[in-house]
């Protein structure tokens, strides 16, 4: 096989629309924009959420409560999930991410007490419940709490 022999799979590539190139193209005259209206004009765009002049959904729905900008959203792990690690291992966010227990290694992690632990582990997390800490220490492990960013 040579580089000049390579062909795309048939049907995988389409020709682009040749707009305004006469009636024969099928996209002549109005160029696929239809007749009249805002979207047919040059520079005619509709802002996101615009509903043609009717009151937009975001303004119709009642607003309730308060969402603090500085809220810490923790990734939650349970003591029982740590059973998959080898005894004596040091576990941090990167190791938990590698094991597929948390969705990313950046967001803060909180340890909760669901499940049982029988291995001695050294764990570094951003937060922990008191009962989870007690279970980890009862198994002979240690818990280090680092401040969440």
Element (H, E) at 77: strand 75-78
pLDDT attached to residue 149: 66
Q: What is the pLDDT of residue 133?
A: 94
Q: What is the pLDDT of residues 67-111, one digit of tens each?
A: 888 888 999 999 999 999 999 999 999 999 999 999 999 999 999
- Tell me how far apart the alpha carbons of residues 64 and 50 are, in angstroms, rounded to a whole number: 22
Q: Give the DSSP H/E element, type plus range, for residue 91.
A: strand 90-91
**How confident is the model at residue 25, as a pLDDT?**
86
For the residues 6-20, what does the mean pLDDT come to?
A: 91
In CATH, the architecture of 75-145 is: Ribosomal Protein L15; Chain: K; domain 2 (3.100)
Long-range pairs for 26-32: beta carbons < 8 A, 24 or more residues apart: none
What pLDDT does residue 147 have?
84
Tell me the two tokens of residue 76.
């939650």
Instruction: Show the DSSP H helices in the chain as ranges.
Output: 57-60, 93-98, 130-138
Q: How is 39-51 classified by DSSP, letter by letter?
A: GGSTT----TT--
| Statement: the pTM of the whole predicted model exceeds 0.75 | no
| Digit-coded pLDDT (tens) for 15-51 | 888 888 898 888 989 998 999 999 999 999 999 999 9
């Amino acid at each position: 096989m040579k580089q000049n022999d390579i062909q795309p799979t048939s049907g995988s590539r389409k020709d682009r629309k040749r707009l305004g190139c006469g009636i024969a193209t099928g996209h002549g005259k109005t160029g696929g924009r239809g007749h009249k209206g805002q979207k047919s004009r040059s520079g005619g765009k509709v802002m996101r959420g615009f509903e043609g002049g009717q009151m937009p959904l975001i303004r119709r729905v009642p607003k309730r409560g308060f969402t603090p900008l500085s809220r810490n959203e923790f990734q939650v792990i349970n003591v029982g999930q740590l059973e998959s690690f080898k005894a004596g291992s040091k576990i941090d966010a990167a190791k938990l991410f590698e094991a597929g227990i948390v969705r990313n290694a950046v967001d803060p992690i909180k340890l909760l007490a669901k499940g049982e632990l029988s291995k001695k582990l050294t764990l570094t997390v951003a937060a922990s419940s008191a009962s989870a800490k007690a279970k980890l220490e009862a198994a002979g492990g240690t818990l280090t709490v680092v401040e969440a960013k």
